[in-house]
Amino acid sequence: MSKDGRQKALESTLANLNKRFGEGIVMKLGEATRLQVESIPTGSLSLDIALGVGGVPRGRVVEIYGPESSGKTTICLHIIAEAQKRGGICGFVDVE
């Protein structure tokens, strides 16, 4: 199959996938769009930066785990406080 034929086959396949599953189902390298995610700051600037969205995503279930006495509860309570300052309702389950 020629290079032009492969390109047409690829475009046809991508068009079929987009038609069947919706736009954005397949992304080409370098064309990724950034998803705007509303976030709640953790209270730790370095952690917010490491998470990539400025905190934990709002409206999603977040699991925080690690060894005992590593600060999991403290960071959770900071996140809850920030969410409540912004009018949010929070749930906290401590199974340790």
Domain ranges of the chain: 1-30, 39-85
More confident residue, 2 or 70: 70
User: Helix %, strand %, coil % for the chain, to 5?
Assistant: 40, 5, 55
Residue 14 in tokens:
């991508």
pLDDT of residue 29: 77
42-59 pLDDT per residue, tens: 989 999 999 988 999 998
Banded pLDDT at 13 (limits 50, 70, 90) = very high
